[in-house]
Amino acid sequence: MDDFENENTMIGRGREAVEQIVDPGSFKENVINDYNFEADCAPGSVVGTAVLDGKPVTIIASDAEAFNDRFPVVFGGVIGLEEGYKMATAVYKTIEADKDKPLAEKRAIILIVDTPGNGPGKLEEIAGMNKATGSYQLALAEARKTGHPIVACVIGRAISGAFLCHGLQADHIVALSQEFGTMIHVMPLTSISRITKLNIEILEELAKENPVFAAGVGFFYKLGGVQEIIEKIEDMRSVIIKHVNEVARLKAEGKGELLGPWGRGILGNERGGRVDRVKVMDKMKEEFAAVAGKYIGA
């Protein structure tokens, strides 16, 4: 990358992003409360504790410069088997650290998102990569429901399954604007065109109106997948702090349903990007209510 690009993108710079976001010099890698991680395991993941706006937070990020020698498909920010389980452990250790604390003191978890995918290899399938990513997601869902505010900040690549794994279980998701090369998608339009055999020009034209398939931060915003778009790199810190506080407030008010994947569904409906989802679920509810007695009273 040349200097111009370096200034305009955060892709591959997860560690730098951590330093820019947390209170200066506060990040301690591989430590969560009294638990110490083995430093040489899961090199593609970065976990630890920092101070954000005076309060302890758990940080989970990817290291795009690391190579995992034992699992060679893991590099460039890929979340592999070891990485997924290390990230999950970081979440469980966070829950454990604050388990006796009141809701207001449950520390936040900050996910710095820049990952192109999950480990796509043979070893991964033999051991079950699906479990590593699934495990991390369940841990995040548990932490969220336990009361920890979780904010994900997409600084670079948030691609498909890796975004599901590292990001989409957060309470709120914020993202640097498209201008910084931020990528949120399942597949680029060119690949969608190739696989679905749909004409790329027509797809591009339709994408202007319909956010459900095209790549981009703005489309995810419309679908409720992104809460807020960050316009300047130096604003990352303040926006994340704002969202941590807002999430904590909603949790204190017992409004957890407005957060996480379900809350993003509500937002997607409000923003007009995903309006069928609600209709489907309402209709099902109605249909079940009509027969519920027969099943519940069985």
Partner 1 sequence: MKKWSELKDSSFFDASARERAVGLVDKGTFTEFLHPLDRYCSPHLVVLGQAVEFDDGMVCGVGLLGRHPAFIISMEGRFIGGAIGEVNGAKMVGAIRLALTAAKEIKAKYPGEYEAKRPLVVISFETGGVRLHESNAGLLAHAEVMDAFQDCRHIVPVVSVVGSKVGCFGGMGFVAAAADVIVMNEQGRIGLTGPEVIEQEMGKEEFDASNKALVYRTTGAKHKYIIQDCNYLVEDTIGDFHKVLGEIAGKSMEEIEKMRRIGSIDLVREQQELVKLVGDMQPKDSMDVWKHFGNENPAALPELSTAEFLKTVKRRARS
Partner 2 sequence: MALQVLEFNFKSAATQSIPKEWSHTGVTGSGDLEVLLEKKDLGGGVKAKVVTPVKGFDAVWEKMIQKFVTDTGVGNLSIEINDDNATPIVVYMRLRQALAEATAKEAE
Rounded least distance, CB 211 to partner 2, Å? 18
d(CA 214, CA 103): 39
Find, among 190, 150, 188, 184, the residue nearest to 170 by Cα: 150
- The b-or-e profile of 145-155 (16+ CB within 10 A means b, else e) is eebbbbbbbbb
Does 94 bind partner 1 (CB under 8 A)? Our answer is: no
Residue 210 binds to partner 1 (criterion: CB under 8 A): yes
To partner 2, the closest distance from the beta carbon of 145 in angstroms equals 38
156 binds, among partner 2, partner 1, none (CB under 5 to 8 A by kind): none
Q: How far is the CB of 202 from partner 2 (least distance, A)?
A: 5
- Which residues are bridge partners to 153 per DSSP? 112, 174
Choose between 148 and 185: whose C-beta lies nearer to partner 1: 185
Query: Using the rule CB under 8 A, is 116 a contact of partner 1?
Result: no
User: Can you name the residues that pair with 47 across neighbouring β-strands?
Assistant: 60
The span from the CA of 61 to the CA of 65, in Å, is: 12
Span 119-148, contacts to partner 1 by CB under 8 A: 119-135, 137-139, 141-142, 145
Judged by beta carbon, residue 13 or residue 274, the one nearer partner 1 is 274
Choosing among partner 2, partner 1, none, which partner's interface includes residue 256 (Cβ < 5 to 8 Å by kind)? none
Give CA–CA dist 156/160, Å, rounded: 13
Cβ(111)–Cβ(166) below 8 Å: yes
Tell me how far, at minimum, the Cβ of 2 lies from partner 1, in Å: 28
For residue 168, state whether it binds partner 1 (rule: CB under 8 A): yes
Task: Count the residues of the shown chain that bind partner 1, applying the rule CB under 8 A.
Answer: 85
20 belongs to the binding site for partner 1 (CB under 8 A): no
CA dist., res. 86 & res. 29, Å (int): 12
CB 66 within 8 A of CB 42: no
For residue 258, the partner it binds in partner 2, partner 1, none, with Cβ less than 5 to 8 A by kind, is none
